[in-house]
Chain A
Amino acid sequence: MESLLPTELWRNGPQPGSLYNFPGGKIAGHNEPVKRTMYPIVTGTSVLGLKFKDGVVLAADKLGSYGSMAKFRDLTRLLKVNDQTVVGAGGDYADYQFLTEIIEQRVIEEECLNDGFGYTPSSLFSWLTRVMYNRRSNINPLWNTYVVAGWQKGEGFLGYVDKIGTAYQAPTIATGYGAYIAQPLLREALEKNPNMTAEQAAEQLDRCLKVLYYRDARSLNKYDLAIITKDGVEIRSSIVSKTNWEIAHMIKGYE
């Protein structure tokens, strides 16, 4: 066969004209756009998780803040991965959407293998930790905080992964402002009643989300709740907490 003349004389080497910036010409090497998340744009606030006697509950409000503007008031920040796992996300919504597509594609690929295995909460958690840490090590993070909740091997699973790759598991998890406001409430509730039912756990999360609505300036009084038990995943959408403004009558002026 005739040999084709190579179209390039060399590959992966320096391009002619790229080593020196000729005055008046275009700056060499700036042909690709900068592709790293420097700062989040549309953001989600806290995600709360609580382990109860026979499972885990996860909740996140439905707000996507555009800085200080309440731009998107109907976003779902909870993703049902399969009948055993749910992932909740705070932080940049675009990065969460990017990851959602990847996770969903992977779940489909798992299905295609048809070997009876699917993603367990802890396998997803490990994978997610690796991804997040790897991205941060390349100074190109996914600007999110994830909470992985699920049911495996007869008990609940609840884990936290950061944009810098910090990962841990705990009986109560709260991200963002929730860490300061809701975490004390959740810890106290669990200490008082270590064996809660699903309804009691959901009630505790409602209590915390109500206080977050009072005190977090980037929150909304509408949230999604996911309850994961051995029987699968139940997602309750668009729950509105009953807020109490009785004290409003007591406040007049500032002195």
Chain B
Amino acid sequence: MALAFDEFGRPFIIIKEQESKTRLRGLDAQKANIAAGKAVARILRTSLGPKGMDKMLQSPDGDVTITNDGATILEQMDVDNQIAKLMVELSRSQDYEIGDGTTGVVVMAGALLEQAQRLLERGIHPIRIAEGYEMGSRIAYEHLEHIAQKFEFDATNIQPLIQTCMTTLSSKIVNRCKCSLAEIAVKAVLAVADLERRDLNLDLIKVEGKVGGKLEDTELIYGIIVDKDMSHPQMPKEIQDAKIAILTCPFEPPKPKTKHKVDIDTVEKFQTLRQQEQKYFDDMVQKCKDVGATLVICQWGFDDEANHLLMHRNLPAVRWVGGVELELIAIATGGRIVPRFQELTPEKLGRAGLVREKAFGTTKDRMIYIEHCANSRAVTIFIRGGNKMMIEETKRSIHDALCVARNLIRNNSIVYGGGSAEISCSVAVEAAADKYPGVEQYAIRAFADALDSVPMALAENSGLQPIETLSAVKSQQIKENNPCCGIDCNDVGTNDMCEQNVFETLIGKQQQILLATQVVKMILKIDDVISPSDY
């Protein structure tokens, strides 16, 4: 380890406990980092595309997750390496921002790192590589905009949206019924979307799953499902035209926040207190009844006595409903969440056309459906499937599809999938590279090569000859000047993604390229890794 000396030749202690740290510097550090990044990308590479494989992940507690969603795989992996963690972050930010393409972004970054390693070996300075990549990404970004197409849809013509969602779903295990799932996702998004402002809040779509049944039974419900049952077994199971009081206060005697004691020292006090208590319950139920509520949904529990009183007054109630669900119910039914019984007024009640309890399977599983709500701006996608892992994976896939649909509503530009956008960018970047004088030219060319790796991985996963297929498609693109040519993963017989209806969103692709370049630049700029050594 390098040491600094002062004028008397004594060493400066720069880093605390310097001896117990390991340190990698210069080219070694870069190479180690690149290797780590590549290792992560290699894991995800086989998950890319419609023929991509899944990963089975066992958590520290022994739970099994099976998925091919890049973000999920990386999140669940017990990664220790710092650079690998950067890649995990990369995939996560793509997930937050776009929701889809989490695998692709990591594969892209891995390819950029691989190319960078070659350049480093030639002795090109990492900063020059980073700059070259930056230029390359800018060219690709602009080129994408150039080849992007607007596509038109509206509330009645949703077919294009469904097509795009299907592209997303086709790489997941649910591709057996991608058509119906895509339709569900699109309808859900359109139900909550604000087409005027071109925006929507995904929180309004609740994705609920229950094991059992089959994937085809998955349905979209214009309303809310709550995994609860009526608080008293004899309450009615179906309520028409419900007026719902949404409460966040328990049906229990009040508990003042300030510390206090009520001392009972005489018989009279004992009796008044008792009467007081009974009056509390009576009042609470009476207040709900007075405002005309026909269903009470409460965030907290009920006392036995209150429960019976509710039942007795024919006021069905649901208890222990979670905060998020409560909010959704409030949005859907147009009601207000009421924190005090005193503040209940008829205007604050929510309205729903039908509330019913439904039982599943042979066990004691019941759920409450709240449908035909006053405001249908909150919907639920209810997933059924053979086992727990299937449901979880379907949830993730639906989430991806929802994100894609949302992105399209925000910005209706698309590019064609199947690696065609990457190939087209690669051609454009390659052509532009020659115009740049200086060392960056090499980096830009490397960037073009890295772009090829996504279609390459696609071809590899689909069991095609990667190099042969890629070069054929590339030459076809140039010859026909058609940026829609991609890898024919499903063996349909045509390379034209326009005919195969394989779309991806423009912002998704642009984001992938930008994010991947940024992370790679960051990794390249690290020339010193100091870490506590193993003990």
Whether both chains belong to one complex is answered with: no
Chain B positions near chain A (C-beta within 8 angstroms): none
Residues of A within 8 A of B (CB): none
